[in-house]
Amino acid sequence: MSDAGIDRRQLLTAAAMATAAIATSKTAEASIPAPRLPYAEGALDPVISARTVGLHFGKHHQGYVDKVNELVASHKELQGKNLEQLVKATAQSADKTALFNAAAQAWNHDFYWASLRPKGGGKPTGAIATKIEQDLGGYDAMKKLLQEASVFQFGSGWAWLVVRDGKLAVTKTSNAETPLTNPSEKPLLTIDVWEHAYYLDYQNKRADYAKAVIDKLLNWDFANQNLASNVQG
Ligand code: MN
């Protein structure tokens, strides 16, 4: 009998350890991986300096990811979701505003770094070029719209090139808001117009930053990839 008692205790201990291991692995699954910058911090210089990218990526972007992981830890029902799923799951929840803001900012920043590349900008080629002609009246008209969206966004936010109901459109969002939560919009490119994106390099001259990004950094290959996945999806 005493042997059976020991066995039962051992079993209970083993079960408790197994439960703890599962809990640990679930927490690990839920965490959003560290963000990745697709190029060196100095790669966008002189349009955006290494110092700006270092702070923007290393402190601001990383800070949003850290916040997501901190907040998800107390929401069991959200554990295991990826960043895109977290943004969509929290967008309409008044009690999860802090988590939505952090997750959407983390997602928007991933999208922003991918929207830029060294020696980018200029006239696009491929399907996006055709669509800009058809839907927005050409490259110069598109540039003007994107520039205006960047400058006229009041306060912090984002300027976007999106597909809206099958047509290209330029739009802007405030703070952490993102087209990802709009079922009729699919983002193709974005420009971060929060002050932290440009203040060290351009001070208050957001228009100069937007113009330089549009002319010299936009990654049209990324826009074409997003456009192609939109057509397929
Ligand atoms: Mn930013």
pLDDT of the residue at 2: 44
What is the CA(82)–ligand 1 centre distance, in A? 20
pLDDT of the residue at 22: 43
- Tokens 């739009």 found at: 171
Paired strand residues for 108:
none
What is the CA(62)–ligand 1 centre distance, in A? 10
What is the CA(64)–ligand 1 centre distance, in A? 10
Best CA proximity match to 146, nearest among 136, 134, 161: 161
Q: pLDDT-derived band of residue 230, with 50, 70 and 90 as boundaries?
A: low
What is the CA(109)–ligand 1 centre distance, in A? 6
Phi, psi of 151 (to 5 degrees): -80, -40
What is the CA(194)–ligand 1 centre distance, in A? 6
Q: Is 121:223 a contact under the CB 8 Å cutoff?
A: no
pLDDT tens digit string along 7-31?
A: 555 555 555 554 444 444 444 444 8
CA atoms of 51 and 152, how far apart (whole Å):
26
CA atoms of 208 and 213, how far apart (whole Å):
9
What is the CA(179)–ligand 1 centre distance, in A? 16
Q: Which two three-digit tokens encode residue 186?
A: 């699919």
What is the CA(137)–ligand 1 centre distance, in A? 30
pLDDT of the residue at 140: 98
What is the CA(44)–ligand 1 centre distance, in A? 15
What is the CA(218)–ligand 1 centre distance, in A? 16
Indicate the DSSP class of residue 82: -
pLDDT of the residue at 23: 46
pLDDT tens digit string along 18-76?
A: 444 444 444 444 489 999 999 999 999 999 999 999 999 999 999 999 999 999 999 98
What is the CA(174)–ligand 1 centre distance, in A? 12
What is the CA(198)–ligand 1 centre distance, in A? 9
Determine the Cα angle at 221 with ends 218 and 212, to 5°.
10
pLDDT of the residue at 4: 47
Name the superfamily (CATH) of residues 127-232.
Iron/manganese superoxide dismutase, C-terminal domain (3.55.40.20)
pLDDT of the residue at 173: 98
Number of H helices, E strands in the chain: 10, 3
Model confidence, pTM = 0.86
Domain ranges of the chain: 127-232
pLDDT tens digit string along 139-186?
A: 999 999 999 999 999 899 999 999 999 999 999 999 999 999 999 999
pLDDT of the residue at 139: 98
Based on its alpha-carbon atoms, the radius of gyration of the chain, rounded to whole angstroms, reads 22
Determine the Cα angle at 99 with ends 98 and 101, to 5°.
65
CA contacts within 13 A on the Cβ side of 116? 30
pLDDT of the residue at 160: 98
